[in-house]
Amino acid sequence: MTGDVAKAVADGYIKADSVTLETGIKGVFAGGDVVTGAATVIQALAAGRKAAKSIDMYFKGEPLNAGRESEAVFESKLIVDTWGINKESRALMPVLPAAQRKGNFKEVETGLTKETAIQEAQRCLSCDCKICINLLGCPALIIDKGKVAVDAPGCPGCGVCAQVCPHDAIKAGV
């Protein structure tokens, strides 16, 4: 890697300013999964919009941070503590054998057993299913380097995620 590129990459992700999305290379912007790790389509679109605003400001010669204080990352009052939570692998969905699928319109996926479904619900913090993000739809719950995290800029401070977390891994801070 050349020096400029090495400065812009860390741990397999591109380093970019959290507000402007400018990388360590002047005039080069990055956002989405290459910066945060796997995330939702909504978060990728938001990053694209943020980068587009920065690119427009860059070509106009305007300061990239001008008027963007509300976009900055700030510390949340919610604390995510995953210590001691088992990181189980995602259960594979049982399917009908190929021979039984041929010539009919039966459902291919047969569904999880009650016991397996309970185990799946208890392992949501392993971040394979991202159920907490998909169900709540809160912009403060994000995927950061493959793990669920609370990102304060979108956090309304309501604490609903702390109330619904089955492992009590998210606590409302003081």
Q: Compute the average pLDDT of residues 46-70.
A: 88
Q: Of 22 and 123, which is predicted with more confidence?
A: 22
Q: Compute the average pLDDT of residues 114-143.
A: 67
Q: What pLDDT score does 134 carry?
A: 64
Confidence check: pLDDT of 55 > 70 = yes
Lowest-confidence segment of 34-48, 49-63, 83-97 by average pLDDT: 83-97
Q: Compute the average pLDDT of residues 24-43.
A: 85
Which domains occur in the chain, in start order? 3-71 (no CATH), 78-172 (3.30.70.20)
Distance CA 62, CA 54 (A): 9
Distance CA 28, CA 146 (A): 24
Q: Which helix (H) or strand (E) holds 150?
A: strand 147-150
- Residue among 140, 143, 113, 108 nearest 128 (CA): 143
- Report for 41-45, 61-65, 160-164: range of highest mean pLDDT: 61-65
Dihedral in degrees, nearest 10, Cα atoms 50, 51, 57, 60: -150
Q: What pLDDT score does 174 carry?
A: 38
Confidence check: pLDDT of 98 > 50 = yes
Confidence check: pLDDT of 79 > 70 = no
Distance CA 12, CA 74 (A): 24
Confidence check: pLDDT of 84 > 70 = no
The upper half-sphere exposure of residue 145, i.e. CA atoms within 13 Å in the direction of its Cβ, equals: 6
Q: Which residue has the tokens 């300013």?
A: 17
Q: What pLDDT score does 117 carry?
A: 84
Q: What pLDDT score does 42 carry?
A: 75
Q: CA of 15: how far to CAs of 6, 62, 144, in Å?
A: 10, 22, 13
Q: Compute the average pLDDT of residues 40-64.
A: 88
Distance CA 76, CA 78 (A): 5
Q: How confident is the model at residue 27 (pLDDT cuts 50, 70, 90)?
A: very high
